[in-house]
Amino acid sequence: MRFIIYILFFSVSAISQTDIQKTEQLFADQQFSKAEVLMNNYVKDNPNNLRGIELLGDAYGHQKKWDGAIENYKKLVKASPKTANYHYKYGGALGMKALSVNKMKALSIIGDVKQAFITAADLDPKHIEARWALVELYMQLPGIVGGSMTKSLKYADELQNLSKVDGYLAKGYIYQYDNDLKTAEKYFKLAVMEGGSLVCYEKLTNLYEAQKEPDKAIANLEAAQKKHGSNNLNYHIGKMAAEYNIQLVKGEKYLHNYITNYSVKDEVSKAWANYRLAQIYKLKNNKADALKYIELAITELPQNEVFQSEKTAIRKL
């Protein structure tokens, strides 16, 4: 179950602006415990300031302190019951709490989770996140406690009316969850054609991997890389080639591209790209180059046991 708590920043009075700005900066710097302290003090002095209460709930949520998040979002719902996003955040925190407790306790929470998301969706006909939450919730709940593919598809249709891409992705998710992979592929392809974002390509790639069709996955990754020019995709293409022992020349090329264009913003270190190159050269029975690149990987991350094991395997060629 995936519940994403979105942080929305609104204008506030000049009196509170300094604390709000400080809190926003603390969030940007991922210093959530400091934000919690700041907003806790602020809310004590301004107990009716809804923005302060919301930020305090957000600070708790970022730290996975679900009880604190629930308490503050519940205050928002009571103070402003017609605000859809308050219900959405309350439902999200409840949902994450349900994931952190035993099944019996979770079952006692699920009804409130569902009602919070339904209320958010009813209050705001354009609330995309609440509808996404309901799509996932209805698919993942067992039928005995209210799970329903039909209801999930209903909210996917509503999403499609708001955003074709979100609707296609939601239906792809539903049919993949239901193990109807061909129908899921159809909708993920529609999402790629309609929106073409990295997320759309990622969903289709993951589906091909689930179908054990790595050649299709690589072709899809190449299309995404051509469209977006993402260096991370260079690595993922090389990784897939190495893991599935396919298209090794292509994998080698993309890994070298990754290393050449590497920056600290990329997902994985050059060590992992060198490790994948070592795998490819091992598969090609090129022991000298395999050792060369595994040594480069080990030099960067000498304590990595995976790299050490790979070196041992290469030496046995």
| Residues belonging to the chain | 317
Q: Tell how far CA 74 is from the center of its chain.
A: 25
Query: Closest by alpha carbon to 112, among 158, 154, 57, 74?
Result: 74
* Whole-Å CA distances, 156 to 1, 68, 83, 141, 234: 16, 31, 22, 16, 32
- Alpha helices (runs of H) in 100-247, residue ranges in sequence order: 103-123, 128-140, 149-162, 164-177, 181-194, 198-210, 214-228, 231-244
Predicted local distance difference test score (pLDDT) of residue 216: 97
Mean pLDDT, rounded, for 146-155: 92
pLDDT digits (tens, 9 = 90+) for 83-106: 999 999 999 999 999 888 888 888
Architecture per CATH, domain 1-124, reads as Alpha Horseshoe (1.25)
Report percent pLDDT > 90 for the chain: 84
Q: Contact 152/172 with Cβ under 8 angstroms? A: no
Tokens of 106: 């979770």
User: Residue with structure tokens 């996932």?
Assistant: 136
In this prediction, residue 141 carries a pLDDT of 84
Q: How far is CA 264 from CA 45, 76, 121, 235, 268, in A?
A: 42, 40, 40, 14, 9
Share of the chain above pLDDT 70, in %: 94
For residues 214 and 240, is the Cβ–Cβ distance under 8 A? yes
Q: What is the CA radius of gyration of the chain?
A: 24
Task: Measure the CA–CA gap between 7 and 134, rounded to whole angstroms.
Answer: 19
Question: Which strand (E) or helix (H) includes residue 270?
Answer: helix 270-283
Residues 6+ apart with CB under 8 A from 97: 66, 67, 70, 109
User: Any idea which residue has 């390509």 for tokens?
Assistant: 201
Check residue 12 and give its pLDDT. Answer: 36
User: pLDDT tens across 188-247, in order?
Assistant: 999 999 999 999 999 999 999 999 999 999 999 999 999 999 999 999 999 999 999 999
- pLDDT single digits (tens) 25-56: 998 999 999 999 999 999 998 999 999 999 99
Which of 110, 75, 107 is CA-nearest to residue 89? 75
Dump pLDDT digits (tens) for 259-304.
Answer: 999 999 999 999 999 999 999 999 999 999 999 999 999 999 999 9
